[in-house]
Amino acid sequence: MPDYQLETDLIAAGHKRIAGVDEVGRGPLAGPVTAAAVILDPTAIPAGLNDSKALSAKTRAALEEQIKASAIWSVAHASVEEIDTHNILRASHIAMLRALDALPTAAQAVLIDGNMIPHGLTLPAQAVVKGDARSLSIAAASILAKEARDRIMAELSQIHPGYGWERNAGYPSKAHKEALARLGVTPHHRRSFKPIHNILYQEK
C-alpha cells in the first residue's frame, strides 16, 4: 500500500505543499489523456487510497469525493489532436503540467508517477516509478484522473455508440476493435496510433 514517506521527506527538506501527479489514458485508441495533481492535507488523508487500478469503481467514486473535499486538486487534459501532433508521452506530460498550473494553491514540490520529469517543469520534482502504489499523493491523483477520464469517455459513448467506450474507456478491447472494423474511425480516435493509422490508410 502507498504511504506518505516521500511527502514527509520533502516536507522535512522545507517544502510545505507537495503535489502528487499522475495520468491515465496512454494506452487507449480514443479520447484524451488526463492528468490530476493533488496536494493532500496531512491531517485529513482519506483512508484506503491506492493505485486506481487496484480499486473497485464504487471505492474509487467514494474516494474521489473525499479527496475533492479534503485536498487541493486539479484535473487537466491533452487532446487527441495534441497526442497526434506531439506523441503520447509528450501529451501526457503536457496534461501533467496543465494540472499543476491549474492548482488553486501552487505546489512547492512535485512527485511525478513514472520515470521521467516533464520537460518545462520548474518546481523541485521527483519521478517515482510505480508511484501510484508508493505515494498517497500520487495514488489520490490517479483516482481523480481515472474518474474524470472515464466520465469523458462515457459521455463520448453517447455521441458515438457502438464502441463500448462506457465500458472500455477507449482501450483496445476486442469489442472496440470489432466496432472499429464495423463502424470506422471517429474524430476522437488517435490517428497516430498504429491500429487507427492502419485502418485509415489500408487502401493506400
Tell me the per-residue pLDDT of 23-56, one tens digit each, with 9 for 90 and over: 999 999 999 999 999 999 999 999 999 999 999 9
Instruction: Report pLDDT for 74.
Output: 98
Q: Region 185-201: what's the mean pLDDT?
A: 94
Q: Region 174-185: what's the mean pLDDT?
A: 95
Quick one: which H or E segment has residue 141? helix 136-159
Instruction: Report pLDDT for 167.
Output: 96
* DSSP code for 113: E
Residues 116, 147, 67: CA angle, nearest 5 degrees: 85
pTM: 0.96
Read off the pLDDT of residues 58-68 as tens digits, 9 standing for 90 and up.
999 999 999 99
155 or 203: whose pLDDT is higher? Answer: 155
Domain at 5-148: CATH code = 3.30.420.10
Instruction: Report pLDDT for 202.
Output: 74
| Average pLDDT, rounded, for the chain | 96
Instruction: Report pLDDT for 111.
Output: 98
For the sheet containing 109-113, what is the strand order?
A: 72-78, 33-39, 18-24, 109-113, 125-128
Read off the pLDDT of residues 71-104 as tens digits, 9 standing for 90 and up.
999 999 999 999 999 999 999 999 999 999 999 9
Instruction: Report pLDDT for 201.
Output: 83
Q: Is the pLDDT reported for residue 151 higher than 60?
A: yes
User: Percentage of the chain with pLDDT > 70?
Assistant: 99
